[in-house]
Amino acid sequence: MKNPFENEQLSFFVLVNEEEQFSLWPAPIDVPAGWQIVFGEDTRANCLAYIQSHWTDMRPASLKQQTHGIVK
Mean pLDDT by runs of 10 across the 72 residues of the chain is: 90 96 97 98 98 89 73 53
69's enclosing H/E stretch is none
- For residues 4 and 29, the answer to whether their CB atoms sit within 8 Å is yes
Q: In CATH, which superfamily holds the domain spanning 4-67?
A: Structural Genomics, Unknown Function 30-nov-00 1gh9 Mol_id (3.90.820.10)
Give this prediction's pTM: 0.82
Q: Which amino acid is at 72?
A: K
